[in-house]
Each structure stands twice: as C-alpha cells, then as structure tokens.
A and B are shown apart, each in its own frame.
Chain A
Amino acid sequence: MSRVVYLDNNATTRVADEVAAVMLPFYTELYGNPSSMHAFGGQVARHIAQARDQVAAILGADPTEILFVSCGSESDNMAIRGVLEANPDKRHVISTRVEHPAVLSLCNHLRKRGYEVTLLGVDGEGRLDLAELRNALRPDTAVVSVMYANNETGVVFPVEEIGQIVKAHGAAFHVDAVQAVGKLPLDLSQSTIDLLSLSGHKLHAPKGVGVLYIRKGIRLVPLIIGGHQERNRRGGTENVASIVGLGRACELARAALREENDRVRRLRDKLEDGILHSVPNVRVNGNREHRLPNTTSISFEYIEGEAILLLLDQLGICASSGSACTSGSLEPSHVLRAMGVPFTASHGSIRFSLSRYNTEAEIDYVLEHLPPLIERLRNISPFWKDYQEQLAKRS
C-alpha cells in the first residue's frame, strides 16, 4: 500500500520515534531485572522510577499513586474488582451503558456473580443525566465507574461534577481515562477521582502497558498476586521497556498538549465541516461541544459502514465504524444504540480519530475522495433511491 492516511487513533496510535528511541536500550544492553540486588539490574529500577515521575506529572499525581499494569483493560479490571474485593459488604456497582467493553463486559460478569449493577443511560447526544446517578447511588454502592471520554464519539463526561455526587455518597470513584490522557489536561491533585485508568498505546507509547492511578488511602486488593513488584500491588517482573516508553510518551504529550490539540482540533473540524458541507444526509453523533479534540463520529445515512471502510481502505484511509458488520456482532455499536441513533444512521457510522501526526494534506485527501465514494455506495442502496423519491414527491 503506497499511501496510508491513519485516522484511527482511538483504536491505537503510532509509537513516537522519541519513545521508540528510549525503549531500545532495554531490549539490548539494559536487560537487567529491576528487582535484582546487583547494580546491573538495579540501574534499570531508576528508569522505572523516572517513568513513574513522568506519568505522575501528566496526571498531577504523586508517583506513589502510579501503578504500572499491562493494559487499559487490566487497569479497569483492577480498579473495579480491587475495590469490590476490598469492600465485601458492598455489592452494588454503577457504570454507564456507553463504557468500553473492558468495563461493560466486566459489569455483565459481575452481575452473573451476584453483584447488582446499575448502568446509567445517555441522551441523544451521549450525555449522562446526573439526576439518574443521584437516584442510583445507595449505601451499598462500592464503586462508580465512568469513562472520561467516549472512544466512539469522543463525548466527554463532566467527571468532577459526577465525582462530587459520588464522593458525597461514600462510594469509590473510578474513571476510565484511556481516551482522555494526552488529549485533555488533567490534575488529579485537585480532583474527586479515586482511581483512574490509562493505556500506553493510545498516546504514542507501545501496546501492552497501562497505568492505574490509585489515590492515597484507597484500599484495593491486587488482581495479580505474585512478587513484591509495584509495592506488592501487582506481581510480575516489570515490562521495563514499555514502562520507560510510556513515561517518555507522557512527557511528550504534556509538553505539547495545548498546542498540538489546538492543531488537531482544527484539522478535525476541517474534516467534519468539510464532510457536512459536501455530503448530504450526514449527521455527527454526540455532543459537539463537550468532545475530545481529535474525534468525530459521522453517520452516512442509507449506507452501511463496513462497505464505506472497505472503499476507504482501498484509498489507504484508515478509520473505523460503529456498524454491525464491523463490530463482529450483528447489531450496531452499543454506544450509538444507547444514544438512540436511528438505524438509518447507526449502520453507516464512521469514526475518524486524529493524532498529532496527521497533516492538512491528509485531510484534504480525504475530503477529496470521500464524497464520490459515498455517492457510489448510495447509488447501490435501494433506500437512497426510495428516500430521494419521497423527497421529490413532497416538493
């Protein structure tokens, strides 16, 4: 494939060159075990400590509150299960219908294990109703887990408002911030958040490394029981290279956050506005104001998402879809369904998610090629013609 225009950064991101560079030595000469008593291994521990500082800095946290884990999903699991196991008398969990499967599937699993789970709904723009949360909270609510920003629509939840309600009820507050870290400024020193999850591969660090932030004083039972690594909170020899890479990635993201995101937002808006202007019968899914700067979920009515993706792929354009055929299930994405997006639109939804590596020329390329491609599929669709005939009849 000659040209690749990568607009699927909410799925995963390219490892930054600067990140890859600092990782390499840990695959070659610096292969020691950080737990070893000898200096050869011990020197590695210093690099992990540095990475911990770097992660703490982007979160506004204390380094002792940073726990390295193997991915975002492990972080989510450890937060929720860790709280439940530490509070065996509390059997109620609250989350939302639009969470990532890392949380949602866990909720379903917990239900089968006898826990009570309340999943909060969202409105047509993907926003929560905080009154519903207030009503759902109970004395035996152990944990409330809410995502910071939605991976499909980019919609950002008002986490601090939510946190205040949750804390007033004495439950632990977990936030899946996998899509937010590096895209939105965070300061956990001034926050109601008790537990926060992030994942390396969403911010230009490698796959297979994540973090669970655990506020001082929050008790958790570990998920992986083993050696004394991570101060006895997660057994297993550290994934040194990836941890070091994640540290560097956080540093890069922090330094560039404002400037990069302004630029990314401009490109995203250009893409979105361009599509809205050049293609009829499209709609943006999710509230456009409270949204990540890099994400747009656009529905192309009367056609199906996988077909769009295949044609985009032929042009080297990478995106993803909330359509049934691509989700591996037969129904459109649970996020769009929770929002009540009509079927005419949900099956044809495409998510474009940008990163700092995208250029204006790439956006122009997409804007040039997308409209004819949509038209081509609409000319195959029986419903498009029906719709046009209806329009003609009406006028």
Chain B
Amino acid sequence: MDFDLTDEQRLLADSVGRLMGDAYGSLEKRRAHAAEPHGWSERVWAQYAELGLLGLPFAERHGGFGGGAVELMIVMEAFGRGLALEPYLATVVLGGGLLRLAGSEAKQARLVPRVADGSLKLAFAHGEAQARYDLDDVATTARRAGDGWRLDGAKSVVLHGDCADLLVVSARTGGERRDRDGITLFLVEAGVPGVSRRGYPTQDGQRAAEILLEGVELTPDAVLGPVGGAAAPIRLAVDAALAALSAEAVGAMDALHALTLEYLKTRKQFGVTIGSFQVLQHRAVDMVVAIEQARSMAMYATMMAGTPEGHAAVAGAKVQVNRSARFVGQQSIQLHGGIGMTMEYLAGHYFKRLTIIESLFGDTEHHLREVTASGGLLGDLPSGSGLAK
C-alpha cells in the first residue's frame, strides 16, 4: 500500500503542469483558444501529441506509450487545474478507451498511431434523448444491409462530437431498447452520407453536438468488438472516464481553492484582510476537507476501475467528487463576493466546469443508486467475528 508516484510519473506531472502553465496560464489565453474554429487550440493539441499524452494509455505495440490509469489521473488533474478545452476525454479516454477495450489488434494497430499523432479525433456517440444516465438505453438501430449495416437514430449531447473525425456509435442490433444485450459499437467516419451534426458550446466553454444518423451505410469492418456485446466495454470505458473526470475535478478544485485563498489573503474590508474573519477561515478549511476527500476517492477510483469491485468504487468516487465539487464551487464564488460573479474572473469558469462534471455520466443521485445496488463499499460483518446477531 503506497500513494507515491514513481519518478517517471512525477516527471509526467511536471511536464503536463508546465505545458498547462504555458498554454493556459491566464483567462486571456483560454479565451483565445476558445475563439478558434472548434473551440479549442490545434496548437495545444499538437503539443499534447508531442508530449506523448495522446498515445498515453495505448499499448506500445500499437504505437502508444503503455501508460496506465495513474498516468491518466495525473494528466487529467493537470487539465483540471489548467481548465483545458481540448477534446482529450472524448478522443483518448472515451473513444480511445473503447478502441482499446473492444478493438481488434488490427484496428488498434491502424488507428492508434493516428490518435497518438493528433491527426485523428474521436467522440463517443452514445447518449440519447430518452436515456438520461442509463448506459443500456439505446434506441438507435443498426440493421443488416447486404453484408454491411445501416444505422438510424439520434445521438444527443455528444462531447466534442462536432470536431471528431471518427465517431464511436452505439446502436442496437438486438433486444429491447433498455436491454443490456444487443448493443453493438460502430466506427463511423463523421463525413459519410447520412451523418449530420449540429455542434454547440456547452455551459463550461467546451463543445458538444447533436448527431443525426439517417440510413448510414457501413461496411462489416465498421463493427468494433463483439456484435451485441458492447455493454461491458461501454461500462468499463465510462468507468475509466469517470475516474478521469474525478481527477480533473480534483485539479480544478485545487486551483479554485488556491485562487480563493489568495483572495482571502489580499482582499481587505473593515481595514483587515477578509481571511482574518474566522467564519471565512473555517469555510476555507471545510473546502480543504472536501477536496481531500474527493482526492482520496479519485485515487480510489483510479486504482479500482476495471477490477471486479471497480464499478461500485467509481460510482462511490463520483458521489464524493460531485458533493465536494458543488460545495467547493459554490463557496469559492461566495467567498469572492461580487468578483466571483463576473465572466472576467477565473473562479466562475472553474465553478462552471465543476458543475458540468457533476452531471457527466451520472449525477450524485444516479451514482448513489449504483453504489446502493452493488451492496455498498464496505461489505458485511465478517463471519466468525463473533459479533453477528
């Protein structure tokens, strides 16, 4: 049991931290990136590729860097601190995760190098209007057409779905709308006939898209993973994404708290710094406590995701991270007073990102139900303890 980073991991943290400092050191820089055509910076994306971040979690034999969940956690935490805009989660964690979990050797060998060099952006087109947070709720259909497939349906709020070159689309090839079995993944070039996309900004300054699939013709090779058996890899990829988002939230909370602390030490009212007021001191401490609990659970999720108890662990982490994020976000705004309300100041942007992270892939209530359904995180009294009634 240890929580130390290896030397290589520390190095990674340092270099991503530096990159974030350079690329995102100020609100002006972030605004400039957001003003680019896709709402994020191609130049910064190229820097991610250079640093090896885009190939991070893929196997070396496919052209990746063989990093694990801890490496991903390090990167996401830095992105959270920097409030980065690039489609990393969509491309590397979600799309890339599905590619890794469900893709054949051949597919990975073909696609990973292009993801790693930054030329191929992915998005996971899964959510639908009626599904809310139910991962099994898929109404989009894929029907056999000749020796290939034809896709029909509508995907909603697809993260960075507007800029993706290749979509990982879930569709039903069997079973009823909410069945676990019968879901299949397809790789769909964004530009093929029948795919139409409407991109839009999201509340946190990122981007998403509504994607319409109307008679999209696909070759047999478009299938990713087993036909009808995508529920398991989807669950795993989403769990990995939740662990990554937890880490991102921790990074954002860290930065937001530092900003708030700085303000408490400089802003003066009644002739003293406001940080000398005990009620604000205690609030700041409660924020630290909330952040440390979230950090612990983000680490827990990172280390547990993918193991048999991983799903409950990840869901538990999301509950804690969400609660901490809401408290830290709201209190940061409150402790800043009016300045916290302006678009011209960073705090509000962290607050907005944290708020959006809360709802991504399941809100607090959803994940509390998940933990409950899995029997909790603690288990029962050990038999033979002599304490059972």
Do chains A and B stick together as partners?
A: no
